[in-house]
Structure 1
């Protein structure tokens, strides 16, 4: 029995390696497929709500498709225009940043600290600071440029959603338990994506308003980046805040920059650590270790888009494991049990 089980484990491991290698080789197609599935999961909830309101299916479908196209075009337009303007003004920002470094050196030297200004200016690669930001925005622009194919995929998936339910009932007609597990899996997936999309939009919206109030350049662009990077836990909020805070340091006074930094921290903590768990439910929490390795793993397999999709993909796997008694133990291994203990202590 042990020998048989060992052979099975090696077989599963080999299958896993082959599948992952195949996903990496076809990552461009897989990314489009994953995005289409995830976005259709979000909008299928809206489709059900519209149908419950007795709105004809065709009109509901056209409205949702129009909404997806409108949001995609708006995001692509804002990022494209802001990116071009940002690159045009890049030499100005680099010069301001150099002056900021020089003023900081002079300020420190005024207190009697000896600093070799020439070596510091020579060692600092100013292009790398802004190149990092440009690469981020450029990657997002490329990411949004694929949205035409994603929208087409969403359209076909939503069109098949009703018949897909009928197919499932036919497949599981003799096994109501499996159909129940699949429905639970679908419900939890939709709930996760709807809540995550709402909290991401709320994060980006509040940050855009906050930056507009302080007069930071390109507030809508940084709001869009904050919204997208909210799907990347922990490091996402730090990366999203970097360009806006850097511009604030160069164009605004110290007090305004400190307040912007504080607001970034408060907004992200309030939404990600307080609002999101309440809306999503404690049982959908992922272990921090799983989140960390999922970012590395899916980022390596699918590139920068994989970092956006890392937690949704991992959460999908966890919900799938939780929905089946045979794999429930894998779901427990991926869970954040500290949240469950907090919940049990409160109930006690």
Structure 2
């Protein structure tokens, strides 16, 4: 029988969770900026520590990193803005090419013996809506990057406070060394996750941009940036990022070249996401596919399209926090992908 006191605690925790989530959803615009500032700071704080170990003065290291953040942010915003404007100008031509591609495909199917109502398919398909949806997705990313100034300011303040924050933690946990050890472990794992994920995402986008440029696909840098950003979205991110580039390849390149583009997209994403990333990340940082799927839905609903990019980082942060504390370690195990710990699980069971 469940103890009435514990039952009241469970209801209290559940109600608190609902209130917190509702508050986050209502303040999603501010929360997104805060989360991004914290995550980006986690990445560059590692670089800040490396520069300090090289005996570079902290103030010089700080301004150097801030300059890098500003440069990367404005480069992304510039590339997406320029490419998007050019893409919108050429949209009518792409719509016509896409329509001709569908007509030729229907004709080929009819010649092969299939009975297809061409007019019905053309009436069903809305080419302008499809390309409009693609433009809206890229446009939303571009709009968000244009507001990235607030994130940069947040990163600047967090990095400036990072040294004093460590001192504050030592004061807070001066009588409890174990809690300080748990927090340091949590901080280390978070930094490692973001550094590795950012590196593999950049590598994915860089290689894809080179491949698309080699085959002559329009806007290779834009699709490389999109591939890099959508690499943070699990499961469906790489698929969504590949669709515009593959369609442009179908419209402008021979079928053989398009097949090569598709194959290389698959090879690049599988090699980096399923082989390189787990080796660099560490098996203990794996999330269950079920947790990834529902976190994508949940944070996408709470924070919008940016929440889909932040879904895995936020969930991974929670998992690492649970793993770093013995009292909540069991929650981290429930969120883990035990198939990547098969050997350890067998040892425990035996």
SS in 2 for 1:231: coil
1:203 aligns with 2:204: yes
Contact 1:195 1:280 in 2 (8 A): yes
Distance 1:269 1:135 in 2: 28
Distance 2:235 2:313 in 1: 15
Distance 1:111 1:231 in 2: 42
Distance 1:250 1:345 in 2: 52
Q: For each residue in 1:289-320, what CA deviation from the matched residue of structure 2 results, as whole angstroms up to 9, or x when unmatched?
A: 00000000000000000000000000000000
1:315 aligns with 2:292: no
Partner of 1:245 in structure 2?
Answer: 246
Alignment of 1:247-286 (within 5 A): 247-286=248-287
Distance 1:111 1:244 in 2: 28
Partner of 2:109 in structure 1?
Answer: 108
Alignment of 1:3-18 (within 5 A): 3-18=4-19
Alignment of 1:299-310 (within 5 A): 299-310=300-311
Contact 2:338 2:345 in 1 (8 A): no
Partner of 2:136 in structure 1?
Answer: 135
Q: For each residue in 1:59-106, what CA deviation from the matched residue of structure 2 results, as whole angstroms up to 9, or x when unmatched?
A: 000000000000000000000000000011000000001111111111
Q: For each residue in 1:305-341, what CA deviation from the matched residue of structure 2 results, as whole angstroms up to 9, or x when unmatched?
A: 0000000000000000000111111100000011001
Contact 1:32 1:146 in 2 (8 A): no
SS in 1 for 2:311: helix
CA deviation after TM superposition for structure 1 residue 344, in Å: 6.3
Partner of 1:227 in structure 2?
Answer: 228
SS in 2 for 1:55: coil
In structure 1, the gaps of 5 or more residues are: none
Distance 2:125 2:152 in 1: 43
The more displaced of 235-244 and 102-111 is 102-111
Distance 1:54 1:75 in 2: 31
1:121 aligns with 2:122: yes
Partner of 2:183 in structure 1?
Answer: 182
Distance 1:196 1:267 in 2: 15
Contact 1:282 1:343 in 2 (8 A): no
CA deviation after TM superposition for structure 1 residue 123, in Å: 1.1
SS in 2 for 1:193: helix
Contact 2:97 2:251 in 1 (8 A): yes
Distance 2:323 2:94 in 1: 50
Q: For each residue in 1:153-188, what CA deviation from the matched residue of structure 2 results, as whole angstroms up to 9, or x when unmatched?
A: 000000000000000000000000000000000000
SS in 1 for 2:113: coil
Q: How many residues align?
A: 347
Alignment of 1:1-80 (within 5 A): 2-80=3-81
CA deviation after TM superposition for structure 1 residue 233, in Å: 1.0
CA deviation after TM superposition for structure 1 residue 342, in Å: 4.6
CA deviation after TM superposition for structure 1 residue 110, in Å: 1.6
CA deviation after TM superposition for structure 1 residue 146, in Å: 1.9
TM-score, length-normalised on structure 2?
0.97
Contact 1:82 1:221 in 2 (8 A): yes
SS in 2 for 1:201: helix
Partner of 2:330 in structure 1?
Answer: 329
Distance 1:179 1:83 in 2: 47
Alignment of 1:142-221 (within 5 A): 142-221=143-222
Contact 1:76 1:141 in 2 (8 A): yes
Distance 1:343 1:331 in 2: 15
Distance 1:69 1:301 in 2: 28
In structure 2, the gaps of 5 or more residues are: none
The more displaced of 127-136 and 252-261 is 127-136
CA deviation after TM superposition for structure 1 residue 111, in Å: 2.4
Contact 2:246 2:258 in 1 (8 A): yes
